[in-house]
């Protein structure tokens, strides 16, 4: 999740205060999609996402981007990747081409895209065949992702996901003063271990990724459909695999199934397995930073009331110590 100057300026106020149901419907009207008045807010903290029922047509999903997070070029790069995947019959849900001829529109100061509604349920990760099929499709995503890197979107790394969050949180009031030295010590040791794992893995390829490929971003109907590429970026292939493997009680079995399918379409560099615990550690550090940077958005205090408590940061310190032990690079 990239933070830039525009977002820092915007963070002082509620970013979606003006996004009323009327504004959502007017935005769709402006691109020739006429709602019948029925809106359903879908689960999303980073952006605002609505299922919109249309007059005489199938429902659509309208996604209103958080102001200042991504540039237009970065959003359009994500859309181009999704279009490329769709053209190659990879089941990733791509945005519709709107009346303007593009996929990104603006209304009342909000940038938005519209997607076809995709039904489905969370995949059964206990099912070996389902895991293997997931591996197949992620392999296909990565085969296209490896053709060229993102030019506008960032690369997942220790600086953006570890050091910058560490420095920002250390200078904030979110970490209780009495726990700040212990938290900083744990973060610093954890980042040293992350750096060792990165060195041990060596120069593994950085390709275009989904970036946040957990079970909640896969809808299963007759097979998997990948949604929400909002965190798409360059990074090691294993980033799109480890969260799915993690969700199964027997991760070794999960890896076997995922990689059996994956290798049908894409080679896998086994050195990347050295990065799993490092990537998990960076995600844990960055998650606290993400909540803190969004705290002015009223949705965040309501959803994370425990954030900032002594107990919360005690748990984060313990979590990081466990991760230091898990990184054996």
Q: Catalytic: which of 212, 230, 240, 297?
A: 212
Those residues whose C-beta lies under 8 Å from the C-beta of residue 261, and which sit 6 or more positions away, are 131, 132, 133, 134, 135, 136, 137, 138, 139
Q: What pLDDT does 4 receive?
A: 45
Residues of the chain with pLDDT under 50: 1-12
**Pairing between β-strand 218-220 and β-strand 224-226 as defined by DSSP bridges:** antiparallel
pTM: 0.91
- pLDDT tens digits for 37-73? 999 999 899 999 999 999 989 999 999 999 999 999 9
Q: What pLDDT does 34 receive?
A: 94
Q: Catalytic: which of 84, 228, 231, 240?
A: 228
Tokens of 46: 């980073």
Q: What pLDDT does 10 receive?
A: 44
Q: What is the DSSP string of 117-160?
A: ----B---TT-HHHHHHHHHHHHHHHHHHTTS--SSS-B--HII
Q: What pLDDT does 13 receive?
A: 59
Q: Name the CATH superfamily for 128-326.
A: Transferase(Phosphotransferase) domain 1 (1.10.510.10)
Helix then strand then coil, % of the chain, to nearest 5:
45, 15, 40
**Domain map of the chain by residue range?**
5-116, 128-326
5-116 domain in CATH 3.30.200.20? yes
Per-residue CA distances from 137 to 110, 241, 308 (Å): 33, 11, 39
Check if 212 is active-site. Answer: yes
Check if 222 is active-site. Answer: no
Q: Is it true that 5-116 and 128-326 share their CATH fold? A: no
Q: What pLDDT does 323 receive?
A: 97
Tokens of 28: 């769709």
């Amino acid at each position: 999740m990239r933070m830039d100057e525009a977002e820092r300026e915007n963070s002082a106020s509620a970013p979606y205060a003006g996004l009323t149901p009327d504004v959502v419907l007017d935005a769709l009207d402006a691109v020739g999609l006429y709602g019948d008045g029925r809106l359903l807010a879908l689960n999303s903290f980073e952006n605002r996402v609505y299922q919109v029922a249309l007059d005489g047509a199938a429902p659509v999903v309208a996604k209103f981007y958080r102001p200042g997070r991504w540039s237009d070029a970065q959003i359009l790069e994500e859309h181009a990747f999704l279009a490329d995947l769709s053209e190659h019959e990879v089941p990733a849900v791509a945005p519709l081409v709107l009346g303007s001829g593009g996929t990104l529109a603006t209304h009342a100061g909000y940038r938005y895209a519209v997607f076809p509604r995709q039904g489905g349920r969370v995949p059964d990760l206990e099912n070996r065949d389902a895991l293997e099929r997931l591996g197949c499709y992620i392999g296909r995503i990565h085969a296209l992702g490896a053709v060229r890197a993102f030019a506008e979107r960032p690369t997942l790394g220790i600086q953006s996901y570890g050091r910058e969050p560490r420095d920002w949180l250390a200078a904030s009031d979110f970490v209780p003063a009495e726990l700040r030295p212990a938290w900083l010590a744990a973060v610093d040791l954890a980042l040293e271990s992350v750096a060792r794992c990165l060195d041990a893995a060596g120069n593994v390829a950085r390709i275009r990724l989904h970036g946040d490929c957990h079970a909640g971003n896969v809808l299963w109907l007759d097979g998997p459909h990948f949604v929400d590429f909002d965190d798409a970026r360059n990074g090691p292939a294993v980033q799109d695999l480890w969260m799915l493997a993690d969700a199964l009680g027997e991760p070794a079995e999960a890896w076997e199934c995922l990689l059996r399918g994956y290798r049908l379409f894409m080679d896998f560099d086994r050195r990347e397995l050295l990065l799993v615990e490092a990537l998990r550690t960076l995600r844990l550090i960055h998650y606290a930073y993400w909540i803190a940077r969004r705290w002015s958005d009223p949705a965040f205090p309501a959803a994370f009331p425990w954030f900032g408590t002594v107990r919360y940061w005690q748990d984060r310190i313990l979590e990081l110590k466990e991760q230091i032990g898990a990184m054996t690079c």
